[in-house]
């Protein structure tokens, strides 16, 4: 765990095991890319139980907690850090309601999922949690430094 120094708003987005296994990785990443946010971190990762429990610690008294931990650790996930003004709330809009049956068409869950317990993607619910979760899921050095990138192909 490390602290993200940047003052710019960041969110932690994770494609859950069902999204990876159903071949939705490209589709989901594409929605954030097309919206125009900056990709700062990206990796395929097998989540250990203790990390899943830490990530979802606020839900540990809920009856579905053991199933949630089994689900998140059941196969590889895709971890992403996205950056931009308003990225946390905007990503939650792109993702849609927790229950995919209530998520609007056009949202990721509204278009691609049917069950709350298999809702394909996670997004941080506040800028503070975005920083906390990126610090949990990424190690120092895993986030890209866009400031140093030259883009002559755009000129
Ligand atoms: P997430 O953290 O995954 O982005 O989801 P969220 O904010 O929309 O929903 P939250 O209430 O934080 O719940 C986290 C995840 O737990 C699973 N869940 N199962 N009644 C249930 O069986 C139930 N309720 C929640 C979902 O995978 C949800 O995304």
* ipTM metric: 0.92
55 has catalytic annotation: no
* pTM (two decimals): 0.93
How confident is the prediction along the chain (155 residues), in pLDDT tens digits per residue? 555 555 799 999 999 999 999 999 999 999 999 999 999 999 999 999 999 999 999 999 999 999 999 999 999 999 999 999 999 999 999 999 999 999 999 999 999 999 999 999 999 999 999 999 999 999 999 999 988 787 777 65
Which pLDDT belongs to residue 149? 80
φ/ψ of 91, rounded to 5, equals: -65, -40
- Ligand 1 atom closest to the CA of 64, numbered from 1: 22
Query: Is 16 annotated as belonging to a binding site?
Result: yes
Cα separation values, 90 from 25, 96, 136, 137, Å = 19, 10, 22, 21
Output the CA angle 111-60-133, nearest 5 degrees. Answer: 60
- Are 80 and 33 within 8 A, CB to CB? no
Q: In angstroms, what is the span from residue 148 Cα to ligand 1's centroid?
A: 37
């Amino acid at each position: 765990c490390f602290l993200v120094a940047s003052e710019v708003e960041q969110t932690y987005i994770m494609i859950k095991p069902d999204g990876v296994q159903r071949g939705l990785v490209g589709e989901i990443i594409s929605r954030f890319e097309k919206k125009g946010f900056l990709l700062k971190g990206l990796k395929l990762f097998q989540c250990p139980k203790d990390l899943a429990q830490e990530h979802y610690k606020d839900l540990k008294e809920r009856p579905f907690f053991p199933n949630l931990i089994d689900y998140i650790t059941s196969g590889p996930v895709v971890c992403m850090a996205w950056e931009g003004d308003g990225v946390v709330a905007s990503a939650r809009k792109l993702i849609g309601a927790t229950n995919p049956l209530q998520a609007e068409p056009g949202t990721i869950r509204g278009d691609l999922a049917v069950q709350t317990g298999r809702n394909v993607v996670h997004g941080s619910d506040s800028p503070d949690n975005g920083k906390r979760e990126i610090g949990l899921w990424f190690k120092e050095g895993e986030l890209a430094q866009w400031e140093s990138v030259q883009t002559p192909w755009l000129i």
